[in-house]
Amino acid sequence: MLYDDAAIYVAVRLYDSAPDSVLAPLLRRDDEGQSDWVFAEFDSRHDRRTSFAFGLNPRGVQADGMYFDDRSYDSAWDGVWDGAVQRDSLGWTAEFRIPLSQLPYDPAEHVWGFNIYRFTPHRAETSNWSPRAPTHPGIASIYNELVIDGLTSTGIPLEVVPYAAANVGSAVNGVAHGASVGLDVRARVTPGLQLTTAVHPDFGQVEADPSLVNLSEFQTFFPEQRPLFVQGADIFAFGQPFFFVTRDLSFGNDATFYSRRIGRAPRGTIPDSTTLISKAGASPILGAAKLTGRVGDWSVGVLDAWTGSDDARVRTPSGTQFEYPVEPLTHFAVTRLVNSLDHGERALGTFVSFVQRPTLSPVLGPLMPRDAAVGGFDGRSRFSNARYEVSGSIVGSRVVGADWKTGVMADARVGRVAGDLTWSAGAHVISPKFDMNEVGFSRSADWILATGTIYYQHFIPTGLFRRVALGSTSSGLGWNSAGERRAAVLNATSGADFRNFSGTGVTITHDFPSLATEALRGGPALLLPPRTTFTFDVYSDQRRATRARLDASLRAEPGTGSRAWSVAPSIDARLSSALELAIAPSASYAVAGWQYVAQPTDSAGARHYIVGHLSEPTAALTVQGTMAVSPKLSVQLYAQPFVSTGHFNRLGEVTHPRAADPGDRITWFDISRPSPVRFANPDFSERDFNSNVVVRWEFRPGSSLFVVWTQQRHDSVLEDFALGRDTRRLFAVPGANVFAIKATYWIRA
């Protein structure tokens, strides 16, 4: 290692007694695929919680990311740095030049954390300069120490990244053409704090979300993919994820900050008497500013963003066209502070967020609140040589609009987090009117949960196995605030890695009878009978150029006649040193015995809750391909055709939702007589095709050119499911094609 006032230089000799076995594919940047790798990892603030990792493979492909909260890894973090490699008879060598501007540090602090990590897949081996056991709860906290003297502050490093973009074509929701310019500015305002600002950011090169049909009462979670929000997202994380699943509801993604609320799809609807001509797919982000980093023992995250108002263009029956509001001007503000103590073993934090819509119109007022606020505190502490941890949080919400409501969410946990045997016990409470969905993510309210986990892993190879695991990861009980049971789950899971490096896993989950308070969308609570779910996965040797995996599941709920199966094989093949192709077909068939349909009112004004017996076959094929022309130039393909059809063969009304016998809870309609209430035909067909091709060329460090072709197809003509005919029909529908080009240029001021 060497360093000067501009950069740190690292050189690594990687010995290998079988140099011809070294895996050296040509990958795209940041694709940490199956390859030999070496990473230089720096905890430059020496907070023992965060570190920055810079990696090279034997072909000179670069990858980087950051560790946060001691162990979690964010591969979306990008630095601007250089590297070089060389293969020889002893193995290979790697050299890094990492500008100091990419590492937050305090010139007065002479000790950094440091590690060299090596991955050697043909030996199924990892090596670390700082010993890292799989049973240890931390990574950055156990780095060895690196003493660096004589570094001075270089002022305020400033990075400016302007972009220009243009697109032409037709989108599914109207014509898509135009040009735009924008700007990202990153400044190191103090040694530990970075300010990032974005004016009119563009996300045209981001991969599309997969298609799906969600018939449950809970919203779908999609991960964030936009670089503006992905980088530094770790610092806004509040509390600990609560991994508990009951039936169709998972709490694992609940978060006080869900950045996809910023620039979301407009929520307004157009008048029934008009026809939609065009509508934006997402509200425009006018600008955003983000301050992240550390000041002493404090981690700091501040985000401020504005999204613009949006109008849909509609047409009246007479032919008149006009703009109709579907989304107002909105301001988002999020602040996160965490104080780390005792070298990161203890932490206390606070979180505050505000959402304001200063120009909310009467048309949109009933659909969204004018103001929303969330605030809370969290903390954790490890003890007994970091083997045990206790944590907790409390957060309150206030929503002001057509309806004023306040609520609170709190949890507390204790457990063993290190060693072969780990366990936890926790409680989680959500009051009935808690709502953080204007800038956070929460699927359900009114819960009192008590859960526990226990998990044993043995890593020393014995007999047929390299690793064996057994335990329960999602068992617990849940009630509402009235003391009625909403969940009772018993879960068992096991997994094994074999000597030949293949592996398998099995999980069985049983849901006991419980009340579904949201199943009828605001109607009475419906008592659901027991349900059992079985999942299975098996995977081949992940060291090979061709890797296969199979995921399958079965579910049965005899009391409602519900059942389902799904199967999802996948194969990932490296066809050459520069070409990789992944193919993942999936098929499922679900029968929902009591699927919610509608809640119409009769002539007397009485509301009726209608359910049906639904059969839903679904098929999809996801294809992803990457061709790397060089370490700086790559072509990526994503394509997914998706077909699903839902048919109801009988309909009925929930008349006795808590009857002792499940057969008495629904009164099924006599098909020979007209229904006592009217509602639309609930049958559906969905056929979608989403694809894009992205050419990415990093023509100089930090500067890139993107060329993107996106195609979408959609068809919803109601027909019975027939995979061959549905696929032909989907590709007979005219496609909506958009061609886009975007160039960014990194300037170090």
175 pLDDT tier (thresholds 50, 70, 90): low
Higher pLDDT, 623 or 110: 623
Q: CA 516, 437, 514 angle in degrees (round to 5)?
A: 10
Q: Is the separation of the CB atoms in 128 and 12 below 8 Å? A: no
> What's residue 171's pLDDT?
64
748 pLDDT tier (thresholds 50, 70, 90): confident
- Say what the pTM is: 0.86
576-627 tens-digit pLDDT? 889 999 999 999 999 999 999 999 998 888 999 999 999 999 999 999 999 9
Which residues, in sequence order, are CB contacts of 503 under 8 Å at separation 6+? Answer: 467, 495, 496, 497, 538, 539
DSSP string, 670-719: PTTS--SS------EEEEEEEEEEEEEEEEETTEEEEEEEEEEEEE----
209-221 tens-digit pLDDT? 676 777 777 788 8
450-467 tens-digit pLDDT? 999 999 998 888 888 989
> What's residue 244's pLDDT?
93
Structure tokens at 643: 């077909």
94 pLDDT tier (thresholds 50, 70, 90): very high
70 pLDDT tier (thresholds 50, 70, 90): confident
400-458 tens-digit pLDDT? 987 889 999 999 999 998 888 999 999 999 999 999 999 999 999 999 999 999 999 98
3-18 tens-digit pLDDT? 988 899 999 999 999 9
> What's residue 685's pLDDT?
93
Amino acid, res. 722 = A
User: How many percent of the chain have pLDDT more than 90?
Assistant: 58
Average pLDDT on 535-559 reads: 93
CATH numbers and ranges of domains, the chain: 2-147 (2.60.40.1190), 157-188+685-749 (no CATH), 192-201+223-445 (no CATH), 543-548+559-682 (no CATH)
> What's residue 206's pLDDT?
63
Least confident of 438-447, 466-475, 670-679, 688-697: 670-679
Distance CA 175, CA 177 (A): 6
454-505 tens-digit pLDDT? 999 988 888 889 899 999 998 999 999 999 999 999 999 999 999 888 999 9
CA nearest to 395, candidates 225, 254, 218: 254
For residue 153, pLDDT beyond 80: no
Average pLDDT on 32-44 reads: 92
The residue ranges of DSSP E strands in 191-279, in sequence order, are 193-199, 245-246, 249-250, 275-278
As a whole number of Å, the end-to-end CA separation of the chain is: 27
> What's residue 210's pLDDT?
72
> What's residue 674's pLDDT?
66
> What's residue 284's pLDDT?
86
Strand partners, 321: 315
Question: Which residue pairs from 488-497 have beta carbons closer than 8 angstroms and sit at least 24 positions apart in sequence?
Answer: 488/512, 488/513, 488/514, 489/244, 489/245, 489/246, 493/469, 494/468, 494/469, 494/470, 495/467, 495/468, 495/469, 495/470, 496/465, 496/467, 496/468, 496/469, 497/465, 497/466, 497/467
Average pLDDT on 320-342 reads: 91
> What's residue 657's pLDDT?
96
> What's residue 410's pLDDT?
96
174 pLDDT tier (thresholds 50, 70, 90): low
Distance CA 523, CA 680 (A): 19
329 pLDDT tier (thresholds 50, 70, 90): very high
Mean pLDDT for the chain?
A: 89
> What's residue 155's pLDDT?
57
For residue 173, pLDDT beyond 80: no
For residue 220, give the 3-state DSSP assignment. Answer: coil
For residue 344, pLDDT beyond 80: no
In sign, the C-alpha dihedral spanning 255, 259, 265, 266 is positive
672 pLDDT tier (thresholds 50, 70, 90): low
